[in-house]
């Protein structure tokens, strides 16, 4: 009786076990089938994103419809059509990928929230997401809904555009399979744009563009917009030369850097020199890791001096070629001997380092005190300048011997009228009350609010001859007004986290692809400092969000590095 019962239980067990095996086989078959489709979706979304990136970086900069006539409007229309069309193809595949990831994590017993990467969000991811949410909140509470949604005419930096930056970042960061060869194509396209800009500045026009004048360059238009684009793309070649390996790669970086320096110093906007100063100080500080890096840094300094002298020679040979206002910083540096004199001590230092390297008697790390001195010196110079600016402005008649120096008086004319635009931005924020200071007046609503303040509006109209002031010409101040302190914290968090994370990981343990992490981090840094005196616009901001997205994708392709984020 007991044996018969045991036999029945064994039969039941075998039946159950067999059914379990069948179910597991069915699941395995289903997983195998769905995995191939999942793989197709993952590959499709990555390929579509690669195509989108190629269009943005390699085709979009060259798009012109009617020359420089309404170039800003036409550039935005191209970006809008390109982005809407791209998202229409990409997002369905991205959603399918998300569904597959949900299923995979459920099978593995993981939390559902991990499907969206929430439990592995980087600090930069969180900052971008928070910025998008702050933009939505600012729009919902805005008194200027239509402008807040689509943006001011000619600028188009409303909610829809802000969200396009956020979505493009996340799509690239979480669904794009990192492909570093694309970076070389991006650099080539940027170099072509810069070459046209350089030639235009010296009155050479390979392409006949309607409406050409000294304020417009290349296929981008206004020099401030051109300089914004340059600030994001120029660091790519610069960093590639500094830390790239291999003769061909360094030659490529060298050519891109020389072209970038030449157009940067000659294009006419003083904001480029802020970028140059920031880049060279930053790279100098990073060059104490080994002697090879320091030699590369000195080569970059020599390259800058030699390029400026090459442009000076061009102007000597053809004195009428340079097509920009006299007395500007670009005019001065392309005629001055100062870079020639500056190159002499740099070449001597470089020679001594080369000799010491051959004798193996130099450990560059021993000289880190020099780095501290340079950083301290830069901070002190900036501090002294700000102090003199404040004192010379507030003291009646100014400081003796300094009162008449425009650079040391914070007036409406200071910094190419940045004094007027910054003052307007600060006055707007001062007139905002309560929760408006926290969430802002709405994306791209700077002008709408400004012209509701009669006294300020009258002053601005007089200062700019009736031209509409749509931003503070300081991106951080503009974000503070448009999206409040909440938006500013989130926006600042995006760039500071990206810079520190990418540079930290490049320095620490991303040996094989460190040069690319430097590119993403330093491009974000260059954009940050450039826009202290500039603004969000359709030829720079989309590029930097995509660059940071590529940086995140690069990190996710390097498991050892992604653990540190």
Give 156-203 as a 3 state SS string. CCCHHHHHHHHHHHHHHHHHCCCCCHHHHHHHHHHHHHHHHHHHHHCC
Residue-wise pLDDT for 456-496, tens only, equals 999 999 999 888 999 999 999 999 999 999 999 999 999 99
The reported pLDDT for the residue numbered 61 is 96
Backbone angles phi, psi at 217, to 5 degrees: -135, 145
The reported pLDDT for the residue numbered 76 is 95
3-state SS, residue 221 = strand
The reported pLDDT for the residue numbered 511 is 60
The reported pLDDT for the residue numbered 8 is 46
Provide the terminal-to-terminal Cα distance of the chain, rounded to the nearest Å. 65
**DSSP code, position 408:** G
Q: 344-359 burial, b if ≥16 CB within 10 A, otherwise e?
A: eebeeebeebeeeeee
Token representation of residue 335: 């005629």
pTM of the predicted protein model: 0.90
Nearest Cα residue to 219 out of 322, 68, 82, 70: 68
Token representation of residue 240: 């590639």
The reported pLDDT for the residue numbered 218 is 93
Relative orientation angle of helices 271-286 and 368-394, to the nearest 10 degrees: 150
Backbone angles phi, psi at 322, to 5 degrees: -65, 115
The reported pLDDT for the residue numbered 1 is 43
Those residues of the chain that have pLDDT short of 50 are 1-35, 117
The reported pLDDT for the residue numbered 264 is 96
184 forms bridges with which residues in the sheet?
Answer: none
Nearest Cα residue to 445 out of 397, 487, 496: 487
222 forms bridges with which residues in the sheet?
Answer: 216
Nearest Cα residue to 534 out of 403, 378, 422, 411: 422
- Residues 349, 357: Cα–Cα separation, whole Å: 12
Nearest Cα residue to 144 out of 472, 475, 453, 449: 449
Does residue 276 come out as left (phi exceeding 0), alpha (psi in the -120 to 50 range) or beta?
alpha
Q: Which residue has the tokens 């790279």?
A: 283
Q: Are 129 and 163 in contact (CB under 8 A)?
A: no
Domain boundaries, the chain: 24-562
Nearest Cα residue to 364 out of 283, 294, 286: 294
The reported pLDDT for the residue numbered 448 is 95
- Residue 34: which H helix or E strand, with range? helix 2-54
């Amino acid at each position: 009786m007991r044996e018969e019962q045991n036999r029945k239980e064994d039969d039941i067990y075998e039946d159950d076990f067999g059914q379990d095996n069948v179910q597991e086989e069915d699941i395995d078959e289903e997983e195998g089938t769905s995995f191939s489709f999942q793989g197709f979706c993952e590959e499709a979304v990555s390929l579509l994103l690669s195509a989108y990136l190629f269009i943005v970086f390699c085709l979009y900069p060259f798009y012109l419809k009617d020359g420089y006539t309404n170039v800003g409007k036409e550039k935005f229309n191209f970006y809008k059509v390109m982005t809407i069309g791209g998202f229409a193809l990409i997002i369905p595949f991205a959603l399918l990928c998300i569904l597959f990831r949900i299923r995979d994590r459920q099978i593995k017993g993981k939390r559902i929230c991990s499907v969206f990467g929430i439990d592995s969000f980087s600090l930069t991811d969180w900052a971008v997401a928070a910025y998008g949410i702050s933009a939505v909140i600012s729009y919902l509470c805005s008194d200027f809904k239509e402008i807040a949604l689509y943006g001011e005419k000619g600028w188009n930096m409303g909610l829809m555009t802000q969200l396009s930056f956020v979505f493009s970042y996340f799509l690239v960061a979480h669904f794009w399979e990192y492909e570093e060869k694309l970076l070389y194509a991006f650099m080539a396209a940027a170099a072509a744009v810069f070459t046209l800009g350089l030639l235009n500045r010296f009155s050479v026009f390979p392409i006949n563009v309607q409406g050409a004048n000294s304020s417009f360059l290349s296929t981008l238009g206004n020099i401030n917009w051109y300089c914004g684009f340059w600030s994001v793309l120029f660091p790519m070649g610069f960093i590639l030369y500094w830390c790239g390996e291999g003769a061909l790669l360094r030659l490529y970086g060298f050519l891109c850097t020389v072209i970038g320096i030449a157009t940067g110093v000659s294009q006419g906007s003083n904001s480029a020199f802020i970028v140059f100063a920031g880049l060279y100080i930053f790279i100098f500080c990073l060059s104490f890791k080994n002697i090879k890096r320091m030699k590369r840094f000195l080569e970059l300094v020599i390259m800058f001096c030699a390029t400026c002298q090459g442009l000076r020679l061009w102007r000597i040979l053809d004195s009428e070629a340079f097509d920009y206002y006299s007395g500007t910083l670009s005019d001065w540096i392309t005629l001055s001997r100062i870079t020639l004199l500056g190159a002499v001590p740099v070449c001597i230092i470089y020679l001594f380092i080369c000799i010491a390297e051959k004798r193996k008697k130099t450990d560059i790390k021993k000289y880190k005190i020099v780095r501290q001195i340079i950083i301290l010196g830069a901070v002190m110079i900036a501090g002294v300048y700000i102090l003199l600016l404040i004192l010379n402005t507030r003291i009646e008649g100014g400081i003796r011997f300094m009162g008449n120096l425009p650079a040391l008086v914070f007036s409406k004319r200071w910094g190419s009228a940045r004094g007027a635009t910054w003052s307007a931005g600060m006055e707007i924020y001062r007139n905002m009350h309560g929760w408006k200071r926290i969430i802002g007046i709405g994306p791209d609503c700077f002008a709408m609010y400004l012209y509701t303040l009669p006294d300020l509006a009258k002053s601005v109209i007089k200062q700019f001859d009736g031209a509409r002031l749509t931003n503070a010409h300081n991106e951080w101040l503009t974000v503070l007004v448009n999206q409040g302190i909440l938006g500013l914290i989130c926006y600042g968090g995006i760039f500071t986290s990206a810079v520190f994370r990418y540079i930290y990981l490049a320095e620490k343990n991303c040996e094989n692809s460190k040069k690319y992490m430097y590119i993403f981090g330093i491009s974000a840094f260059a954009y940050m400092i450039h826009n202290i005196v500039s603004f969000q616009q359709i030829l720079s901001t989309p590029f930097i969000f995509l660059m940071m997205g590529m940086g995140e994708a690069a990190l996710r392709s390097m498991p050892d590095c992604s653990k540190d984020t």
